[in-house]
Chain A
């Protein structure tokens, strides 16, 4: 790992100020991606701004009919939250299946979405649960947040402070995990809201996206059969050593069908 200067701010303002005053500083959340990346010398930030001491980024609460999850909430905290389990058990279930226990004890929701790994689980939940990403500067709709392969709408130095989720009537997440990493080969989040069904897919392409064809089919008939009948084009999907694009396309249908059945 290359040298860097370590900072431990205790307020949001101080963290943001540090980010703007350092040459090439990076925020450090749980570190489950950033630290291994730095160990491989694939990342070389001049400064690490550890967010672990910033109390404003913590906590899970409810307001205006939405569930607010602080950016520093670990996957283990989301999985164990009684409030999350009551309002949207599918989200607690998703969090409980990220990586492994030690990773869930450190990794955070803010870090996961800011990293925008194409095979991360949370992005599918954000899109299907009509989430808003709150930053130190503004509110970004989930639909506008994920913009490409490991890319988000975040400006340099902009910090995710919380995610606010709309409570669905029904929801479920199903994934085909990579057996080694537990990242999603394909993950499908289905959520039934008052204004319609949302279906979001992660792992299949360069970044998580909604699948309108599934949404239309499930608006007409919210059944596993309706999900299974939607054809999936493999154009633009990922092919790698883990799975071909055609197999990923196949898995989207299977996971969508299972998610509807689990609702």
Chain B
């Protein structure tokens, strides 16, 4: 069945059902930013390399610049905005980035945090080397990797407590 372009598609974004009209060619990142105004998810490179646009789709980290919005229909999308309530405490990974100064300009941070959360949820033990491998698809143009790695290790430890 071809997707009827006139029909609204239901998404579940950060725990809330959202209806939207999207063209098939609309990228998930553009739907999140332009339609839902969830601008925490960034577009850094547009060539699928930088990882600033990483979100979770059914709990799995994906580059939302390389997924069509229609492919997320009926599925659970989680963005950086969905990690903590506006007035509540930060997610442990966000708190670790704050504590360890895991950001400089901050542009790559949402993608770093979303990737780091998936990494922390894997069963294997995390070492600095494993964290660096896990962040292979996330580029920090400030090159602030050292503190990011420290933050991910601390955030993962906090999440596992």
Contacts and interface: CB of A to CB of B under 8 A. Distances in A.
Contact of A3 (B25, B27, B49, B70): B25
B68 A105 contact: no
Interface of B: 1-3, 23-25, 27, 46-49, 51, 54, 60-63, 65-68, 70-71, 115, 118-119, 134, 136-138
B24 A5 contact: yes
Interface stretch (A29-37, A82-90, A225-233): A29-37
Interface string A1-45: 111111111000000000000000000000110011011000000
Interface of A: 1-9, 31-32, 35-36, 38-39, 47-48, 50, 52, 76, 99-103, 105-106, 180-182
A2 B25 contact: yes
Nearest to A30: B66
Contacts, number: 80
A182 B70 CA distance: 29
A133 to B, nearest CB: 25
- Listed from nearest, the 10 A-B pairs whose CB atoms lie closest are A100-B137, A6-B24, A100-B136, A1-B25, A6-B3, A102-B63, A105-B60, A36-B48, A102-B137, A35-B66
B25 A4 contact: yes
Given A7-B1, A182-B136, A105 B61 contact: yes
B48 to A, nearest CB: 5
Contacts of A182: 136
B77 to A, nearest CB: 14
B24 A48 contact: yes
Contacts of B48: 32, 35-36, 103
B65 to A, nearest CB: 8
Contact of A102 (B24, B27, B54, B71): B54
A32 B66 contact: yes
Contacts of A31: 66-68, 71
A105 B3 contact: no
Given A4-B24, A6-B24, A7-B2, A103 B137 contact: yes
Given A5-B2, A6-B3, A101-B119, A35 B68 contact: yes
Contacts of B25: 1-4, 38
B70 A6 contact: yes
A133 B69 CA distance: 31
A7 B24 CA distance: 9
B123 to A, nearest CB: 10
Given A99-B137, A102-B137, A105-B61, A3 B23 contact: yes
Nearest to B25: A1
